[in-house]
Amino acid sequence: MRKFLIGFFIFFSGIAAGQSNLEDFNHSPKWVDSAGQINPDPGLMKYFQSMKFVCHNASGFTPEENKSAAKAFSELVQYTSEGDQIKGFWNSPEHKQKREGLLATAIKAGSWKAAYVNSVWAIKYPSAETPIKVASTKLHELVSRGIPIAAYKYASYLFGRDYETMYYLYAEAIKRGSPQAMSAVGGTIVVRVQELHPLGKQLLECAVGQGYAEAYDHLGLLADMEGRRGDAYRLWEKGINEGCEGCIKKMSNLAKVRHGYSVDVPMMELMPELTRIKEFNENNFFYQLTELPDFYRRLPEELIFHLNDSELLSLLKLEKFSRML
């Protein structure tokens, strides 16, 4: 046992000496997820294998609201934003009734955004008044109007049921600048289709350029696969501070180099700063439900996550050792 520990120490010390600074880890061996060798969905290849991608912004394809609709919807956004930040606020029937009233007023004023919110809500929480079939029809009407986020959301509901139509709608949404669709397709490409990685990277970069934080998750994964492991964590750091949930999970690996870590301790218990950010995101319910930029709330300055260079270097050394076993 003593000889094993001495050998382990010498081996790990050799790794530490081989890559002693963060930049060294941006020249690591490339790797490919085993899923990248799987034959991708025919629908994915049909619509994206020969795509000539142009990075459009969704704002150029999203219809503007008339003044009364914009005002009514703005009042809904403000009220829900305030309510989401108060614990137990939506348990009150009075508060729920006011929210529903504001939504109905915005729909009556002609707000497509309110109609979109109502449809997405009803699909997730169907009721006798608005069953799923009715909500889906309403959402499809918005898709027919060429609204990017509606095409993306409708496509996402087809996952596991109709991949051909799903990828068709994703492609249409991407042509209209939907960052959500770019992130969904780009992320799938990174994991499943190595030959399309250049396209996947373009899609993800265009998505983050429009402020869609979730795209940082797979953009970081792609950097890791390309051997830029330090860059990967820096991308996840940016994503965390802009609202990327998947990035929080990736960054929780830092717990492995913090005092008190063991396989029996949940990693997030050792990452209180990430826990606070996660709680903040979860209290932005309507953004998580709809992904409408109107509902997005920026992380307060006091919650901004700062990646510690020393911790990152320790983690990268540990991960390198783990991958060599």
The answer to whether 253 touches 315, Cβ cutoff 8 Å, is: yes
pLDDT tens for each residue of 134-147: 999 999 999 999 99
pLDDT tens for each residue of 15-38: 444 567 999 999 999 988 665 566
pLDDT tens for each residue of 241-256: 999 999 999 999 999 9
Query: Does residue 300 form part of some domain?
Result: yes
pLDDT mean over 280-296: 95
Residue 221 token pair: 């994964």
- 283 confidence band (pLDDT: 50, 70, 90): very high
Q: pLDDT value at position 73?
A: 98
pLDDT surpassing 90 at residue 298:
yes
Query: Does residue 58 form part of some domain?
Result: no
Query: Does residue 223 form part of some domain?
Result: yes
Query: Does residue 288 form part of some domain?
Result: yes
Query: Does residue 43 form part of some domain?
Result: no
Q: pLDDT value at position 7?
A: 46
- 129 confidence band (pLDDT: 50, 70, 90): confident
Domain count, the chain: 1
**Whole-number mean pLDDT of the chain?**
92
pLDDT tens for each residue of 255-282: 999 999 999 999 999 999 999 999 999 9
pLDDT surpassing 80 at residue 325:
no
Query: Does residue 264 form part of some domain?
Result: yes
Query: Does residue 51 form part of some domain?
Result: no
Q: pLDDT value at position 35?
A: 59
pLDDT tens for each residue of 54-91: 999 999 999 999 999 999 999 999 999 999 999 999 99
Structural domain boundaries enclosing 318:
213-325
Query: Does residue 54 form part of some domain?
Result: no
